[in-house]
Structure 1
Amino acid sequence: MKSLIQIFLVSALLTTCINVNAMTASPQSWWVGMQTNSLQIMLHKQNVAKHQWQLMPYSGVNLHNIIKTDNPNYAFLNLEISPSAKPGTLVFNSAAGGRFEYSLNARKANSSKRRGFDSSDTLYLINPDRFANGDSTNDSVKGMLEAANPIERGGRHGGDIQGVIDALPYLQKLGVTQLWLTPPLENNMPSYSYHGYAITDFYKIDSRMGSNALYRELAAKAKQHGIGLVMDLVLNHFGSEHVWMKDKPTADWINFNGDFANGKHATSHARQTIQDPHASDFDKRQFSDGWFVATMPDLNQRQPLLANYLIQNAIWWIEYADLSGIRVDTYSYSDKAFLANWTKAIMTEYPQFNIVGEEWTSNPAIASYWQAGKVNNDGYTSSLPSVMDFSLQESLIQALNEDESWNTGWVKVYQSIANDFLYPNPDNLLVFADNHDMSRVYTQLKQDLAKTKMAMTLLLTTRGIAQMYYGTEVLLDNTGSNDHGDIRIDFPGGFKGQKSNAFTGQGLTIDQRDMLQTISTLLNFRKQSAALSQGKLTHFSPKDGVYSYARTSEKQTVLVFLNKHAEMKSWPLHYMEEVLGSQIHATELFTQQTVNLNKAVTLPAMSAVVLVIE
């Protein structure tokens, strides 16, 4: 059996434990030249707090103090790292004979200046276990509680990071610019471990997905294909098989004393209590401190050692994997004072970075509370750049499924976007038609190809940052089941024995090919369109079943017409004079035909028309 020294050298995580067998240190390594000069290392081993740790002399690094808790199995070393410190190895000794080494690494050039994802991007959301099996040897791993079970809807199907790496040429050709993987971190749970949100090690990629080194390789190879990597982080909860459930670092590490109490301590999901000036303290606590389920204990971010752990964990992954963004699961469920500090710490370290928080509400008054720059009545200040636009998602599905009237149909979308005055930066909202927690857009639109194409055209041409769920381009469908295992369906071509292959086009239906071509056209146009990435949005009140809008930049104007009618429309453009100016010709994106703007535009039945004016 390999020693810990060998394991850490092979994995390049650079934390070595000598004569302190089975001790772990978190973070596993750090960097010199960070904006913040403090570092807190959490040590975990039986009776580790009894060691009187001393740092051997190292220029520019001081061991400020050691924090011990009510659990002798933990110790927290607070270090000060000056800007003059150089990369190297810190050596810690104790009088009891303990010794361990800790690496300080050099940062990549301009790491602090990295640009996050923005409105020029499209995030492609992947459930790695259901996307592509690139390495069948890790489908089941000895020591992991759940083995592969590809025929079970809630089981592990074998997809992994190697499968995503292998798909990079396909994703680049499709027009994707960012990858958002549901958490690939270790989920060593006895069941339903595939989804990734019950984390049992915040510093380790699940061995059935690959390794830390392979995740970093994914980031590097994706960048070579013009694609960034966005990590899905969970701050609110963790998996019940985590060592913290058996050995809590502090008595108050987990909310409600680590007891779900048969649902008594379940969250209320009443997110409005956070902003409600009349809400009781009881209701506020029930929302923020309550657990999702018994297998996902709720973390107490008011505990300062835990708060610091979560902040450093995010920064560690940004540096280690060279991330271009973070998506935060169940954002508002965490302590809001902690969230302010967490976002501020990351954005201070990376001023041009981007983080999007999941606040699942169709009420923009609630969602906008969290976006950076919002002046809130209670004085709360957030540094979160982006939130998810659930209001537009819900309105879009309603609009396409409803008949048109004065208060139904496209007016729902118009009204949702009209609420942008509530947001400090609506261009930095994440817009989407579906995701991993809801039925697929094709399913929600009752398997209507034309409506699905209209929905995706709107999402990929309106304001904001676009997100698309994997397989939307080939009409993946969960009709007949709302089970998450069916929503997170296997991607065609990613697994052996499938009849169709989206990567090659083999076996796809005519409708699937049509959708794939539509999505590819939109995504690749979006990548190079100044109007879609930077342009102003001007939309017009829906009329006669048509919703229309313009995206305008200095050198380009894009006009979008979404016609829900079951008949062709001859559509006059006189009302668009303010965005047309003197332009008389445009090119239709999908047909590449030239269109005379001095005449009425032909809008085919149940269609999206996109006119590009250069």
Structure 2
Amino acid sequence: MKYFFKLLLCLWAGATFNAYAQAPALKRVDPAFWWAGMKNANLQVLLYGDNIASATISAKYPGLILKKVNKVENPNYLFVDFDIASAKPGKFDIVLAFANGGKTTYSYELKQRSSENKKLMGVTNKDLIYLIMPDRFSNGDTGNDKVAGLRDQSLSRDSLYTRHGGDIKGVINHLDYLKDLGVTAIWMTPEVENDMKNASYHGYAATDFYKIDPRYGTNELYKTYVNECHARGLKVIKDVVPNHCGSEAWFMNDLPFKDWVHQWPKYQQTTYKDQPAMDPYRNDKDWKLQVDGWFVPSMPDLNEGNPYVAAYLTQNYIWWIEYAGLDGFRIDTFPYNDLQFMANWMDAVHKEYPQFSIFGETLVNSVVSQAFYTAGATINQKFDTKLQGVTDVAVKEGIYETLNGHFGWMSGASKLYDVLSQDFIYKDPSKNVIFMDNHDMSRYFSMVGQNFDKYKSGLSILLTTRGIPQVYYGVEVLMKNYSNPDGWVREDFPGGWQGDKQNKFAAEGRTGLENEAHTFFKTLANYRKNSDALQNGKLMQYVPENGIYVYFRYTANQTVMVVVNTNDTPQILETARFTDRVSGFSKAKNVLSGESLNQLDKIKLPATTTLVLELGK
């Protein structure tokens, strides 16, 4: 008999072992951890594993409430809702119990929030943003140039569309260079994993929203990068892409819902038109194509109207702010998003981080179109996007017209004057990001015909007018090229790779003209960094006359006069009509040359030049 009981015991033990052994493993938990003390007490955790929907979920922890377990179309997913309002930092187990007796356990952590993150002040018009494509800026770690297991194993600096090896360590290595240059904020194109087969270097086809691409580094290195920036007084902007993902994203081959991404009977691409969103006469099919069409075949359009997608994206971006201590977001392809989702998302971010800065890429064709997408519902939009600022194409085009245009009605300097005169349409135009080029556009120096006088004149306007100026890497050393194809404007920064024949990071590696450009940029950028008028001042502009455009930036403590001579001949500017701004001042200092002007009645203007003058008594 005792042998019979032993046999039963062995059979029971074996059955128990097999039940536990057969419990499905969790392949993914997003977010992998969170923080106690968030203003929003709701946390939705995505669990992914083979047939886990049959499990009973439990989690016990003081102050933690398991509100709901959401089963969805795909049995490989569960979305678990928690209330963490009363939960303190610590760890607890999420237990999945299966009918066969098997269990799967995930140890979840609620971390302590960083007190430093609550002090984040955001990116403002006091800042100067420097845009970097990390793959093309500097290679600080050759060990991660290729990573086994990733789809794209390319590495050739001779090709426009393969990876070149630049990484986060390379950027860290040049933070002192950027600080010395006068930069105060860095925006890198997306650093998250892009495990795509081709052209994976640009970053805009995310395959894992929670992971830094291993060819750039690790999550921990990214956090180190942010800390190193902050230690130098540099702010960090993260480029985020809520509109779409990469076709090789981890969830694309096993979607939680069919409508996790927008589905069409056959492939439908966005129209790349912004007008349907605001057109009172639109056909709704055009509007749907604008926001629900895919950006390109390799970038599926995320369905932000799905509440689970909305929660996933919202939590992801808050996760990055808290994890890394970010200062701002740049939102890619803003007009193609669900604008109600974006407004809700903006509210959620600012609930946790009231001073956090967000600006959106709009690239639309008019001041009115830009204002449509900005906060305040200032032009009868019927809703408020909550977006603080946009990439100000209208100002960019106004500056180019000032530099390259011809005299006449609303051309030349009058174009920029006209654009700025429409600032009443925004809730706060100072939050717009003004720029001359970026990773998708022909480089600034080429766009002014490599005319060095125009180059200096345009940068002088960019760094002294209203808004948050942004420059593209290499502008300070006259990097050039046109954007057809766009790889030409994404060339490597010379000197960012060991063995480069030229090192433009150092004076001895630059030509005489490049050093002159570098000194010019550095002088003006550092002046701006310490100028009360350029950081905090009001703007007053005067109607351009005879190809000369004059404006002032001023506070109670400082007045800066900017004079733009668009003529290709020297001019004499009589200042009598500017009495209300120059009254009480008897002299000026040329910020860029250091020259002193001992009288202000008449000012000599060199041809094709912008003077930046600090007025004095």
Q: Cα distance, 1:409 vs. partner?
A: 1.0
**Contact 1:51 1:98 survives alignment (8 Å):** no
Q: Cα distance, 1:395 vs. partner?
A: 2.1
Deviation beyond 3 Å, 4+ runs, structure 1:
18-22
**Contact 1:493 1:503 survives alignment (8 Å):** yes
- In the alignment, what sits opposite 1:439? 442
The 5-angstrom pairing of residues 110-121 of structure 1 reads 111-121=117-127
Q: Deviations over 1:326-381 (max 9, x none)?
A: 00000120111111111111112211111001111131111112222233424201
**Contact 2:372 2:381 survives alignment (8 Å):** no
Q: Cα distance, 1:285 vs. partner?
A: 0.2
Q: Does 1:34 align with 2:18?
A: no
**Contact 2:588 2:600 survives alignment (8 Å):** no
- In the alignment, what sits opposite 1:212? 219
- SS state at 2:243 partner: coil
Q: Cα distance, 1:72 vs. partner?
A: 0.6
Cα distance 1:406–1:376, how it changes in 2: closer, same or farther (>3 A)?
A: closer
For 2:303 and 2:497, how far apart are their aligned partners in 1? 40
Q: Deviations over 1:527-561 (max 9, x none)?
A: 11111111011111222222211001110011111
Letter in 2 for 1:400: L
Which of 320, 323, 328 is the aligned partner of 1:325?
A: 328
- In the alignment, what sits opposite 1:449? 452
Which of 458, 462, 466 is the aligned partner of 2:465?
A: 462
Structure number with bigger Rg: 2
Q: Does 1:246 align with 2:245?
A: no
Letter in 1 for 2:30: S
The 5-angstrom pairing of residues 365-384 of structure 1 reads 365-384=368-387
**Contact 1:362 1:392 survives alignment (8 Å):** no
Q: Does 1:265 align with 2:276?
A: no
**Contact 2:191 2:213 survives alignment (8 Å):** yes
- SS state at 1:194 partner: coil
- In the alignment, what sits opposite 1:141? 147
- In the alignment, what sits opposite 1:563? 565
For 1:95 and 1:452, how far apart are their aligned partners in 2? 67
For 2:474 and 2:381, how far apart are their aligned partners in 1? 42
Q: Does 1:184 align with 2:222?
A: no
- In the alignment, what sits opposite 1:522? 524
- For the aligned residues, what is the CA RMSD? 1.5
For 1:327 and 1:129, how far apart are their aligned partners in 2? 18
My pick for the range that moved more, 245-254 or 208-217, is 245-254
- In the alignment, what sits opposite 2:205? 198
Q: Cα distance, 1:603 vs. partner?
A: 1.3
Q: Does 1:69 align with 2:72?
A: yes
**Contact 2:26 2:104 survives alignment (8 Å):** no
Q: Deviations over 1:503-537 (max 9, x none)?
A: 11223122211111111011111111111111011
For 1:607 and 1:139, how far apart are their aligned partners in 2? 44
Q: Cα distance, 1:564 vs. partner?
A: 2.0
Q: Cα distance, 1:308 vs. partner?
A: 0.7
Letter in 2 for 1:55: A
The 5-angstrom pairing of residues 285-364 of structure 1 reads 285-364=288-367
Q: Cα distance, 1:574 vs. partner?
A: 1.1
**Contact 1:113 1:351 survives alignment (8 Å):** no
- SS state at 1:453 partner: helix
Q: Cα distance, 1:448 vs. partner?
A: 1.1
Q: Cα distance, 1:157 vs. partner?
A: 0.5
Which of 134, 147, 160 is the aligned partner of 1:153?
A: 160
Which of 9, 21, 24 is the aligned partner of 2:25?
A: 21
Q: Does 1:420 align with 2:423?
A: yes
Q: Cα distance, 1:402 vs. partner?
A: 1.7
Q: Cα distance, 1:109 vs. partner?
A: 1.0
- SS state at 2:350 partner: helix
Relative to the length of structure 1, the TM-score reads 0.94
- SS state at 1:511 partner: helix
Q: Does 1:488 align with 2:500?
A: no
The 5-angstrom pairing of residues 156-171 of structure 1 reads 156-171=163-178
**Contact 1:372 1:384 survives alignment (8 Å):** yes
My pick for the range that moved more, 125-134 or 405-414, is 405-414
For 1:374 and 1:54, how far apart are their aligned partners in 2? 45
Letter in 1 for 2:306: Q
For 1:362 and 1:400, how far apart are their aligned partners in 2? 19
- In the alignment, what sits opposite 1:11? none
**Contact 1:347 1:383 survives alignment (8 Å):** no
For 2:575 and 2:256, how far apart are their aligned partners in 1? 66
**Contact 1:399 1:411 survives alignment (8 Å):** yes
Q: Does 1:232 align with 2:239?
A: yes
Letter in 2 for 1:334: N
Which of 498, 501, 509 is the aligned partner of 2:503?
A: 501
Q: Deviations over 1:57-98 (max 9, x none)?
A: x1111111111100011100100011x422111211122311
Letter in 2 for 1:67: N
For 2:598 and 2:573, how far apart are their aligned partners in 1? 12
For 1:152 and 1:22, how far apart are their aligned partners in 2? 40
**Contact 1:128 1:159 survives alignment (8 Å):** yes
Q: Cα distance, 1:113 vs. partner?
A: 4.1
**Contact 1:19 1:99 survives alignment (8 Å):** no
Which of 101, 104, 107 is the aligned partner of 1:101?
A: 107
Relative to the length of structure 2, the TM-score reads 0.93
- In the alignment, what sits opposite 2:513? 511
Q: Cα distance, 1:582 vs. partner?
A: 0.7
My pick for the range that moved more, 464-473 or 23-32, is 23-32
